[in-house]
Amino acid sequence: MVVHRSQITHNRRSILETMPWSLKRYQHTRDHLHFITFSCYRRQPFLDCARTRNLFESALERTRLGYQFFVTGYVVMPEHVHMLVSEPRRSTLASAIQALKQSVARRLVARDEHFWQMRYYDFNVWSEKKCIEKLRYIHRNPVARGLVQRPEDWAWSSFRHHVTGEPGVVEIESHWTARRRERNRIPLTCSTR
């Protein structure tokens, strides 16, 4: 089936017109976390190999450092990503997510190709109970999808760090990290308060 470019533009326009643009994002509060989800373009499994997932993790760490935010949890799935993050100290969360997505896309696709779906899902996490719920969801995602038998078998998530304190490519904000900072007398480099 051959699809004319005008049909794609029309379809994209009608999808965007039905999206709820009036939704309010609660950002710039610095006292809570954000559960973020974004997907590869048309849910294609562009992150389906170790090389691309490793590249994403490296880009996440560079973005975390550059925008100065905490990552409490994450998982890189073959066609989407979940993250639990703080507000960045530098710029906005939207700018940080955009920079992360662009960084990955520039390394993996040709100039005129799409890698990510537009926009992202942002759920404000106000309580410790909700934080634990979202972390469990993030870490159990590869098991629920049948990619591995146990969460610790999926290398591209924060699960191992939360259980063992094992450092990974992405620095995870946890009690393990706080203890390491105290032991090494490393000051807290960004704050959510």
61-75 pLDDT tens trace? 999 999 999 999 999
Choose between 19 and 141: higher pLDDT: 141
Residue 137 tokens read as: 């969801």
Question: Does 19 map to a domain?
Answer: no
State how far the Cα of 77 lies from the Cα of 144, in Å rounded to an integer.
11
Choose between 123 and 5: higher pLDDT: 123
Average pLDDT over residues 158-179: 90
Tell me what pLDDT residue 177 has: 80
Contact yes or no for 92/69 (Cβ under 8 A): no
Tell me what pLDDT residue 178 has: 79
Average pLDDT, the chain: 84
Choose between 5 and 186: higher pLDDT: 186
37 membership: H or E segment, kind and range: strand 33-39
Question: Does 66 map to a domain?
Answer: yes
For residue 125, give the CATH number of its domain.
3.30.70.1290
Tell me what pLDDT residue 112 has: 67
Question: Does 17 map to a domain?
Answer: no
Q: Taking 60 as the threshold, does the pLDDT of residue 7 lie above it?
A: no
Contact yes or no for 171/178 (Cβ under 8 A): no
Instruction: Count structural domains, the chain.
Output: 1
Give Cα 135 to chain centroid, integer Å.
12
Question: Does 192 map to a domain?
Answer: no
Note down the domain range covering 56: 25-184
Q: Which amino acid is at 92?
A: T
Question: Does 4 map to a domain?
Answer: no
